[in-house]
């Protein structure tokens, strides 16, 4: 079985739900406490053994590429002023040379189309997809849990979790064969099912391990829900050829592509922060007390 070495990070979406904040700052670069969302995602990928990150970017997303590069002026100023702890934090997310690739999705035609844009860089090997606006707090990290499941059963894995009451029509929903507490064979999946038709209460929450055969299917995948080329639709076709398992992961997910999700993530991560946690708790408590 080939190991999972590469992760595709689609970051070309318009971020409509977090406008106007995402107008000039890519939504994947919005801050959670003291660093951009993508910083947490890269750490999660590295913890799962990912050696190469493929970003699918778009117009107006140059800040992402710049964040993962040196900023010589800033770094030399920090060094000259002896602000070495800040310098260390600024450099912490820098990639090893050649560890990241950037490819453009020239129009935001949907998540499936974005993943397809990475086909030549991924090549003929299994790969992870990480949706960078889904911050998944877990120990071990969510993608590491998915890689462990992959090492056990192979094929394709999607990470799922219970969908909040009444929200199933907004997500990809899976159908399962079996009632194992964590890992079950999938029998179907549907993107944004009309209310009342969802096959389960489990939604695809933002981490996948896929076989490269998905690229052929994405190449001729037509538009689906919302008029977009949906990854879920191509996965549903691949399921006729290859096994899929759904992993109910152990952790908490924050949808940072949504205003309240972004707020929840900021509060939760601030409260858990090793240096800022106590101050954050005091600040939140004071706010709630009015
Ligand atoms: P979302 O649907 O959450 O992102 O896609 P979006 O389209 O930016 O959101 P809204 O609805 O406008 O608020 C999940 C991930 O897939 C990327 C997004 O950047 C996000 O990280 N994506 C989505 C692409 O890269 N290309 C697309 O065409 C669509």
Any ligand 1 atom below 6 A from CB of 131 = yes
3-class SS of residue 100 = strand
Q: Is the pTM of this model over 0.85?
A: yes
Kind and range of the H or E element at 172? strand 172-177
Which of ligand 1's atoms lies nearest the C-alpha of 14?
Answer: 8
Any ligand 1 atom below 6 A from CB of 111 = yes
3-class SS of residue 128 = strand
pLDDT digits (tens, 9 = 90+) for 108-131: 999 999 999 999 999 999 999 999
Which of ligand 1's atoms lies nearest the C-alpha of 206?
Answer: 14
Any ligand 1 atom below 6 A from CB of 42 = no
Any ligand 1 atom below 6 A from CB of 136 = no
**Rounded percentage of the chain residues whose pLDDT exceeds 70:** 100
Distance 178 CA to ligand 1 centre (A): 31
When computed from its CA atoms, the radius of gyration of the chain, rounded to whole angstroms, is 19
Q: Which of 257, 258, 261 to mutate to test the pocket of ligand 1 (most atoms within 8 A of CB)?
A: 257
Distance 2 CA to ligand 1 centre (A): 29
Which residues have a Cβ under 8 Å from the Cβ of 80 and sit 6 or more positions away? none
Pick the closest to residue 227 from 113, 56, 81 (CA basis). Answer: 113
Distance set, CA 4 to CA 153, 172, 186, 208, 275 (Å): 13, 23, 21, 11, 34
Any ligand 1 atom below 6 A from CB of 61 = no
pLDDT digits (tens, 9 = 90+) for 30-57: 999 999 999 999 999 999 999 999 999 9
DSSP assignment, residue 23?
T
Any ligand 1 atom below 6 A from CB of 251 = no
Mean pLDDT of 4-25: 94
pLDDT at residue 132 greater than cutoff 90: yes
Helix, strand, coil shares, percent, the chain, to 5: 40, 25, 40
* β-pairing verdict for 172-177 and 183-191: antiparallel
Distance 18 CA to ligand 1 centre (A): 11
CA–CA distance, 264 with 275 (Å, rounded to integer): 19
Domain annotation for the chain: domains and CATH numbers? 6-159+204-289 (3.90.550.10)
């Amino acid at each position: 079985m080939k190991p999972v070495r590469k992760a595709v990070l689609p970051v070309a979406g318009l971020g409509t739900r977090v406008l106007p904040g995402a107008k000039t700052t890519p939504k994947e670069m919005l801050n959670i406490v003291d660093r951009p969302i993508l910083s947490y995602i890269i750490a999660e990928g590295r913890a799962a053994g990912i050696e190469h990150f493929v970003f699918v970017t778009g117009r107006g997303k140059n800040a992402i590429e710049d964040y993962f590069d040196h900023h010589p002026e800033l770094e030399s100023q920090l060094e000259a002023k002896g602000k070495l702890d800040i310098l260390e934090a600024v450099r912490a997310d820098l990639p090893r040379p050649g560890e990241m690739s950037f490819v453009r999705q020239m129009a935001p035609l949907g998540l499936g189309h974005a993943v397809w844009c990475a086909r030549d860089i991924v090549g003929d090997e299994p790969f992870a997809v990480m949706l960078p606006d889904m911050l998944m707090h877990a120990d071990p990290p969510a993608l590491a849990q998915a890689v462990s499941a992959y090492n056990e059963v192979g094929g394709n894995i999607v990470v799922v979790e219970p969908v909040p009451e009444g929200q199933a029509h907004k997500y990809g929903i899976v159908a399962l064969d079996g009632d194992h507490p964590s890992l079950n064979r999938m029998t179907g999946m549907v993107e944004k099912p009309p209310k009342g038709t969802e096959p389960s209460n489990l939604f695809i929450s933002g981490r996948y391990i896929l076989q490269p055969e998905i690229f052929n299917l994405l190449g001729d995948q037509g538009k689906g829900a919302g008029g977009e080329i949906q990854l879920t639709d191509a996965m549903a076709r691949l399921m006729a050829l290859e096994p899929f398992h759904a992993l109910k992961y152990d952790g908490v997910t924050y949808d940072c592509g949504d205003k309240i999700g972004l707020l929840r993530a900021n509060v939760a991560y601030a409260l858990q922060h090793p240096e800022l946690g106590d101050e954050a708790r005091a600040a939140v408590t004071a706010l709630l007390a009015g």
